[in-house]
Amino acid sequence: MLKCLIVDDEPDICELIHRLIDWEKLHISSLGAVQNGVDAMEIILRQKPDIVITDIQMPGLTGLEIVEKTCAQGMNTKFILISGYREFEYAQQAIRFGVEEYLLKPIRKTDLNSILQRLIQQKNADSRMQGYTDELRNELHEKTCVLRENELRQSVHDVKRVFHAEYFHFQPGEFLCVTIHASVRQKSDIGSDAVPKVLENICARFEHRFEDCCFDNEYVLTDCDAFILLNYPEEQGIYSRCLEVLKSLQRETGIQYQSLLITFAMGLPFFSVEQIGQSIETSARASRLRLYAGTERILEYRNLSKKLSNAPCRAFGSETEREIIHLVKTLQAQAAIDLLDDFYSHFHDAGSIDVGDLFFITRDAIIGLLHSIQEFLPDIDSPIAGIDPLDTELQIRSYLANCDSIDELCDYFKHFIVLIIERCRWVQQQKVGEPVRIAQKYVRDHIDRQVSLEEVSACAFVSAGYLSTLFKEQTGKSFSDFVIETRVETAKRLLLQPELNISQVALRVGYSDSRHFSKVFQKTVGIKPTAYRKFYS
């Protein structure tokens, strides 16, 4: 489903546009509305809307500046520019950015939906053409590379298969693995989806500098890591040359990719195909030690291993895991956070302990917690309005692999615990929320007459005072505010029926005095019922 963002500095206009769009008929979803260009640009970069409807004259950034900045990012976003007659000549400037659609105020529903339908057809056609082009471009490359890549992925676990692989050109000599890890710097505009392309570019540059001295080389990409395997003659000084190349790449990438944290790691060289897996593992282990050594540097396993003892990385004990689960189930968020802070604090001055294992310790603890809570609350992973969804196991593994420090691991674990506790609290609130749901239904069912808190509380079998407190706690609004809100929302729908006059609408939502109804409506919506009807009809 395509996504649409509305941008206008007048909230009434935003609401009007939202009301005019046939969302379900067009099969598009709303990203909401913003009232200034800076916020709009932030949402565009973060959520990548397919269509943006924007006024030209906007605070922060104008509509034209939004179009220009979006195009500069290489995004295939379609724009509809809204302008008054005086502004229309300026809108022509957007032609050079490919904007073809304009709407003059006042906006007509048929015009807006017709333009949206046209843009949706263009987007779908663009997607089909892009998919076809990508398929043709990748087909040949995939056929020639897939067997090589699969063998290298498998080499850590089954290196003997590589020895018989016909599509590698391995020869007797040395084998060396280099790992490149890239993560997005905090508060950066670039998205994590750009990381694989950056890694591929770096790998291609790296391989190019070894074409004259290697029997064969290959690289494999994951979400945030690249593994490069070199096979070269012995005693050629390749290790030293590799180190110099990485230093050069470090300088280049530091300038070119300032939004990324790029870390290089070198494994140990080995002398047979059967030992390829060991070179890959030592390289990956060196990369994981960025947790302690830091990012944006070159980590050599041969140097790091000298500083490491055989002391194991202390894992969560079963007693600690049980305590975390207990704290989560009893909704003690701060106590659980304090426990995690205490556990991870031991690794900041870990000295010779291999903190790289913290990746796996944290991963196993989070997934174990997720499984335990799922047994406690089977529907814990169901969508809940207002609460971020829990990550799946695959997302957990991917996110942790992208962490660059002990603090990031700890913070993610704490964030996960807070989310679980929010969900547990929500589930428990639903169990005691029946009186509020009864009250809400009663108000909606009797929207055409006055209802009192005492009357509603009697139907919910609780006292008026208790229902009032419960209502505020569970909905964030008072009972009287809910009644007014429900009446006004119903009135909005009724005002779109031209056969009903204002007095009739007022009566249908429980107001015998149409003037009082108009005052309440204007205070809530910002415009009078007559203006609303004219605006949205």
Domain boundaries, the chain: 2-127, 155-307, 318-431, 434-536
For the segment(s) 2-127, the CATH number from 3.30.70.560, 3.40.50.620, 3.40.50.2300, 3.30.1330.10 is 3.40.50.2300
Task: Report the alpha-carbon distance of residue 303 to residue 306 in Å, rounded.
Answer: 6
Binning pLDDT at 50, 70 and 90, where does residue 366 land? Answer: confident
Task: Report the alpha-carbon distance of residue 518 to residue 511 in Å, rounded.
Answer: 10
Share of the chain above pLDDT 90, in %: 29
Task: Report the alpha-carbon distance of residue 43 to residue 28 in Å, rounded.
Answer: 17
For 90, the token pair is 């300026």
List helix spans (H) across 159-270: 159-163, 195-208, 238-256
Task: Assign residue 411 a region (left: φ > 0; alpha: ψ between -120 and 50; beta: otherwise).
Answer: alpha
Domain 434-536: CATH architecture, name and number where available: Orthogonal Bundle (1.10)
Q: What does the pLDDT look like over 471-484, one tens digit per residue?
A: 887 788 899 999 99
Q: What does the pLDDT look like over 23-54, one tens digit per residue?
A: 999 999 999 999 999 999 999 999 999 999 99
Share of the chain above pLDDT 70, in %: 80
Average pLDDT in the chain: 81
- Cβ neighbour number for residue 136 with a 10 Å cutoff: 9
Binning pLDDT at 50, 70 and 90, where does residue 447 land? Answer: very high
119 or 162, higher pLDDT = 119
Give the mean model confidence (pLDDT) for residues 283-301: 88
pTM confidence score:
0.50
For 461, the token pair is 């079998």
Give 142's Cβ-side CA count (13 Å radius): 6
Q: What does the pLDDT look like over 69-82, one tens digit per residue?
A: 887 676 778 999 88
Give the mean model confidence (pLDDT) for residues 305-309: 63
Residue pair 331/324 in contact (Cβ under 8 Å)? The answer is no
Which residues 6+ apart lie within 8 Å of 474 measured at CB? 429, 433, 436
User: Can you give the pLDDT at residue 319?
Assistant: 76
Query: Has residue 62 got a pLDDT over 80?
Result: yes
For the segment(s) 155-307, the CATH number from 3.40.50.300, 3.40.50.10420, 3.40.109.10, 3.30.70.100 is 3.30.70.100
**212, 217, 220, 226: CA torsion to nearest 10:** -50
181 three-class SS:
strand
Q: What does the pLDDT look like over 196-233, one tens digit per residue?
A: 888 999 998 998 888 888 887 888 887 788 999 898 88
